[in-house]
Amino acid sequence: MQQYIARRGDTVSRIAARHGLTPEHVIQGNPWAGSQPYLYPGQVLFLPSAPRKRYAVQEGDDVHSIASLFGVEIDELEMLNPGVSSGRICLPGKVLVIPAASRREEVYLRGEYGPADVEADTVRLTSKYPFVSTEVIGTSVLGKPITLLRIGSGPRHLHVNGALHANEWLTAPALMRFIEEYASAFASGSAWHSHQPADWHRDWTLWAVPMANPDGVELVQEGALPEHPYYDALMKWNSGRRSFRHWKANIRGVDLGDQFPAHWEEERDRRQVPGPAPRDYSGHAPLCEPEAAALAALAERIPGDAAVSLHSQGAEIYWNYRGYEPPESKRWAAALAAVSGYRAVELTGSDAGYKDWFIQRFRKPGFTVELGLGKNPLPAADFEDMALETGLILGAILSNLK
Q: Where are the alpha helices (DSSP H) in 47-170?
A: 63-70, 74-80, 115-128
Residue 87 pLDDT level (bands cut at 50, 70, 90)? confident
Answer yes or no: is pLDDT of 402 > 80: no
Answer yes or no: is pLDDT of 12 > 90: yes
The pairing of beta strand 306-312 with beta strand 366-371: parallel
Q: Can you tell me the mean pLDDT for 135-140?
A: 98
DSSP-assigned states of every residue in 84-115: TTTTSS--TT-EEEEPPPPP--S---SSS--H
Residue 50 pLDDT level (bands cut at 50, 70, 90)? confident
**The pLDDT value given to residue 338:** 97
Q: Can you tell me the mean pLDDT for 91-101?
A: 89
Residue 337 pLDDT level (bands cut at 50, 70, 90)? very high
CB-CB neighbours of 303 under 10 Å: 12
Convert the pLDDT of each residue in 212-234 to its tens digit: 999 999 999 999 999 999 999 99
Q: Can you tell me the mean pLDDT for 186-200?
A: 97
Answer yes or no: is pLDDT of 103 > 90: no
Residue 366 pLDDT level (bands cut at 50, 70, 90)? very high
Q: For residue 171, give the 3-state DSSP assignment.
A: helix
Q: Give the chain's end-to-end CA distance (angstroms, integer).
A: 59
Q: For residue 393, give the 3-state DSSP assignment.
A: helix
Answer yes or no: is pLDDT of 167 > 90: yes
Answer yes or no: is pLDDT of 102 > 80: no
Domains by residue range for the chain, with CATH: 2-47 (3.10.350.10), 53-98 (3.10.350.10), 115-216+287-398 (3.40.630.10)
**The pLDDT value given to residue 308:** 98
- Is the pTM for the entire model greater than 0.75? yes
The secondary structure of the chain in percent helix, strand, coil, rounded to multiples of 5, reads 40, 15, 45
Convert the pLDDT of each residue in 286-316 to its tens digit: 999 999 999 999 999 999 999 999 999 999 9
What average pLDDT is seen over the chain?
Answer: 96
**The pLDDT value given to residue 1:** 79
Q: Can you tell me the mean pLDDT for 328-345?
A: 98
Answer yes or no: is pLDDT of 201 > 80: yes
Stated as kind and residue range, the H or E segment containing 156 is: strand 156-161
Active site positions, annotated = 370
**The pLDDT value given to residue 101:** 77
CB-CB neighbours of 326 under 10 Å: 15
Q: Can you tell me the mean pLDDT for 37-58?
A: 92
Percentage, residues of the chain above pLDDT 70: 100
CB-CB neighbours of 69 under 10 Å: 12
Residues 6+ apart with CB under 8 A from 207: 148, 150, 157, 158, 159, 160, 298, 302, 304
**The pLDDT value given to residue 94:** 92
Q: Can you tell me the mean pLDDT for 371-393?
A: 96
At 244, the amino acid letter reads: F
**The pLDDT value given to residue 381:** 93
At 110, the amino acid letter reads: R
**The pLDDT value given to residue 149:** 98
